[in-house]
Structure 1
Amino acid sequence: MTTNKVPDGFPAGFLWGGAVAANQCEGAWQEGGKGWSVADINRFRDDLALEKKYNEEITTQDIAAAIADNEGVYPKRNAIDFYHTYKDDLKLLADTGMNAFRTSINWSRIYPNGDDAEPNEAGLQFYDNLIDEIIARGMTPVMTLSHYEMPLNLTTAYSGWYSREVVDFFVRYCETVFSRYQHKVKYWIIINQINLISHESFNHLGIAEDKVDNLAEAKYQGVHNEMVACAKATQIARKINANFRIGMMFADGISYPATCKPEDVLATVRRNQMEYFFGDVLLRGKYPGYAFRFFAEKNIEVKFWPGDEEALRHTADFLAISYYYTRISDSESVKKRKTSYANPFIKASDWGWGIDPVGLRIKLNLYWDRYQVPIMIAENGIGAFDNPDASGEINDDYRIDYLRAHLAQVKEAIRDGVQVSGYFPWGPIDIVSCSSSEMSKRYGLIYVDLDDYGNGSAKRSLKKSYAWYQKAIASHGEEI
């Protein structure tokens, strides 16, 4: 018997994929019976510095203004028109050798108002067709059920996830989708990046700040309702198909202590606990003690409804993470609203996101040690300005360097004993940026000829990184 059980490389059955979101690629925002979603009011701003381009809090007046606005630019409404081009786009993606593809189901295509009595058959049929095409191209579908596509009516007629009624609306939506695609989809991520309640807050929770008295408290009540809904949906999913694999997902937000000063380390530990919080509930099945202390110190009251604690026992099967950058914290920063800041020891992208491949190995080990469930890297990538040369080629060596370095660290984490089930570069085809609603922040292996204003031919062309990913997949990660 040998004690040498260190894995040699990526495991058999590893999911080599790519990930997008419906609201950032589909377009066709008023076709097929789709209703308004929260993403449809994300406006592109060209008067802001790069680091300032992100979605802010929203009021009901802002919503009304966006609906009535005929002059502003709202790129997610048309995006890259994946709704009509998905067959050709999926062929290009499958030709990389990908064996998996992650996208989302736009909630507002299935229940246009969120509280509709019956689902929209045209929306269901679109995803029938899309999923069939993913499978026909040899890729395993990984479907996200809520990826910033909440029906806008749930914000205006209710108060987004702060309203308890939304729990039942969402669970009904999940049951509809689980039942419809039970023989086509195995892997489900219920909520994308459930921990994002400070930035991307409105897109995530749909809570207009003027509809609640205490926005901070409303966010935590909203995410509590959301976690209960996830657990209830998980229970239903297992009754529909015992082979389903249900994932909970958060954006990696664990920060490093800025120094070894005990006060900085303790402050960072306590800060990071509230990043783990969402996984501790959805993967361990109950609220941790540190969360109750956090709420008490912040004068936040989270209401538990009868049956909530029992419902939360229905935990997820795997952890999905998005990983883009790392930051650092100290005792002073944690006292402030902005609890982390840039690490001076690493380089950053043009948007200020610190590039830290080793951090991915660190985080994978931390999550594995804490949860002991398979981990899917559901998003990883670098947004950059991609400029075709005189011959039209895009030599994005910076993207290759980024992905290569991160994949190398994934391999090291696997050798550490972490069970990593898949790797999904974000936006393998150029899509509209989530936070800044711009096309010029590109992640793709495939270039889409559209600018921030929707101008261009929309022609697809392959970047240098496309061939690199083909080789990486063909070698099962041995040649990166």
Structure 2
Amino acid sequence: MVVKGFPENFLWGGAVAANQCEGSFGLDGKGLSLADVHLYNKDIDIKKVTLDSDMTLEQVKANMLDEEGFYPKRHGINFYHTYKEDLKLLQEMGFKTFRTSIDWSRIFPNGDDTEPNEAGLKFYDNLIDECLKLGMEPIITMLHYETPLAITLKYGGWHNRKVVDLFSTYGEVLLNRYKGKVKYWITINQINLVHFESFNSTGICIDQVENMEEAKFQAIHNQFVASAKIVKKAREISPDSQIGTMVADSTAYPFSCKPDDVVLAMKRNRLQYYYTDVQLRGSYPKYMRRYFEENGINIKEQPGDAELLANNTMDFLALSYYYSQTVSADRNSMDPTDRIKNPNLEANPWGWAIDPKGFYNTLSQYYDRYGVPLVIAENGFGMYDKIEENGKINDDYRIAYLSAHIAQMKEAIKDGVEVIAYCAWGPIDIVSCSSAEMEKRYGFIYVDLDNWGRGTGKRIKKASFDWYKKVIESNGEVL
């Protein structure tokens, strides 16, 4: 049968993260998370912000006590109190799904508490119930850069094997609590961004370990194991649930057709596939074993790890896609953050290349490799939006970006790629993950707050609001 468009049951919606929207810092027993020590720096180079994600233990402790600096993720957009009104706006657009995360530090404030925080669980009870009431399938991420800060201070972050059991215990609590309510779970957000968002991903301070590169890969191994334990537990607790892994696509193009450029791009892409090879195929690929050996990286694996990974592979693959990247053998290395500008593509102010056909390429490559359902967990266009004199916000650039990407997603689906959900990133403006800016906006709904948290907090529909509503009404036929 020839596929002509999006399936009838396609899940149109959007995605946020708890740490970027909820606010209510310290309320109802919430502990400190990694996100709560992210200080806003107005002088940061926004094109290099992901390269400045490392933190020292001294910085962390200073930021914990700092009463002068501004920490936007402690405040978000007050979603903790406005979620009903905000979800109602999303329902007005016709959302079929809503992806968010549960903040680990709301449930286990210190990560290793003996009992979960009931007040935190109650908030997510209400949030998930509200989603279901409004006809939105919840897609829930268990960890979206919200590791309790106490795990950094007490255990040194995710490279400590003890964190595996702490996280799997937390995951088991969620699976039991939301059995029958949440079908789609993502264990860890963008697990492959460990080199872009080092501290956010691992909770490791650079002065807590001797070999940070090795510690990063050890942390990822521990996250693989913890995720596999959650898959195993989910199949016992709620066999109907679907558990997925998530990566941020960083597909690299060769800068030229020179064989050295082509081979470097292939190796860089394979370094990205390593994360999904382990979690979807169930074992470490040989090319990665070679990479570890040649780079002096020693991963400590415990007896039973290999069997656990092999027997508890993920049900689906969630992807975030924003841009493609380009590499040259003459100018770039195997470092995932090392790339050059693609002369054939325009970019946004943050240097992210706008590449809709790259989206088609990515979806095709992943589906050809794994053959599992795909969830588009994030796709969006950050930009500085302006309120016109008439009070309108004309974000035609966002409409153009999303329209072109959805069109390419449709092409992949027509090829037979099984995409089950599309979650536009930040459907309501939230604090930026990497730069902590509020004014880097993605939403269909404007939130009247600036980078310092000043403003009314009023919600204003942008031009893209009505556009996305028509996209959903037409099931992707009207773009």
Q: TM-score scaled by structure 2?
A: 0.98
Deviations 1:293-344 (A, max 9, x none): 1111111111111110011020000000000001111223443644322211
Unaligned runs of 5+ in 1: none
Aligned position for 1:39: 35
**5 Å matches for 1:33-432?**
33-54=29-50, 55-313=52-310, 314-335=312-333, 337=335, 338-432=337-431
- Secondary structure of the residue aligned to 2:446 is strand
Q: Aligned partners of 1:106 and 1:266: how far apart in 2?
A: 40
Q: Shift in Å at residue 170 of structure 1?
A: 0.2
Task: Work out which of the residue numbers 15, 19, 39 in structure 2 matches 1:19.
Answer: 15
Are the counterparts in 2 of residues 379 and 424 from structure 1 also a CA contact under 8 Å? yes
CA spacing shift, 1:336–1:422, aligned 2, 3 Å? closer
Q: Aligned partners of 1:120 and 1:49: how far apart in 2?
A: 38
Q: Shift in Å at residue 416 of structure 1?
A: 1.2
Are the counterparts in 1 of residues 438 and 451 from structure 2 also a CA contact under 8 Å? yes
Query: Residue 28 in 1 paired to residue 27 in 2?
Result: no
Unaligned runs of 5+ in 2: none
Which stretch has the larger CA shift, 43-52 or 31-40?
43-52
Are the counterparts in 2 of residues 254 and 326 from structure 1 also a CA contact under 8 Å? yes
Q: Shift in Å at residue 432 of structure 1?
A: 0.1
Q: Aligned partners of 1:219 and 1:456: how far apart in 2?
A: 39
Are the counterparts in 2 of residues 16 and 99 from structure 1 also a CA contact under 8 Å? yes
Aligned position for 1:467: 466
Are the counterparts in 1 of residues 445 and 460 from structure 2 also a CA contact under 8 Å? yes
Could you tell me which amino acid in structure 2 is paired with residue 315 of structure 1? T
- Secondary structure of the residue aligned to 1:231 is helix
Q: Shift in Å at residue 265 of structure 1?
A: 1.0
Q: Aligned partners of 2:158 and 2:48: how far apart in 1?
A: 26
Q: Aligned partners of 2:134 and 2:224: how far apart in 1?
A: 34
- Secondary structure of the residue aligned to 2:243 is strand
- Secondary structure of the residue aligned to 2:378 is strand
Q: Aligned partners of 1:392 and 1:206: how far apart in 2?
A: 42
Deviations 1:89-133 (A, max 9, x none): 000011100110000000000000001111000001110000000
Are the counterparts in 2 of residues 268 and 334 from structure 1 also a CA contact under 8 Å? no
- Secondary structure of the residue aligned to 2:142 is strand
Deviations 1:429-450 (A, max 9, x none): 0000000001010000000000
Q: Aligned partners of 1:410 and 1:317: how far apart in 2?
A: 20
CA RMSD between the two structures: 0.9
Q: Aligned partners of 2:430 and 2:331: how far apart in 1?
A: 34
Could you tell me which amino acid in structure 2 is paired with residue 169 of structure 1? L
Are the counterparts in 1 of residues 218 and 300 from structure 2 also a CA contact under 8 Å? yes
Could you tell me which amino acid in structure 2 is paired with residue 293 of structure 1? R
Aligned position for 2:447: 448
Q: Aligned partners of 1:458 and 1:219: how far apart in 2?
A: 38
CA spacing shift, 1:336–1:410, aligned 2, 3 Å? closer
Q: Aligned partners of 2:391 and 2:102: how far apart in 1?
A: 34
Q: Aligned partners of 1:19 and 1:430: how far apart in 2?
A: 11
Q: Aligned partners of 1:201 and 1:243: how far apart in 2?
A: 34
- Secondary structure of the residue aligned to 1:461 is strand
Are the counterparts in 2 of residues 45 and 53 from structure 1 also a CA contact under 8 Å? no
How many residues end up aligned between the 2 structures? Answer: 476
Q: Identity rate of aligned residues, in percent?
A: 54
Deviations 1:213-260 (A, max 9, x none): 100000000000110100011000110011001111000011011111
Q: Shift in Å at residue 13 of structure 1?
A: 1.1
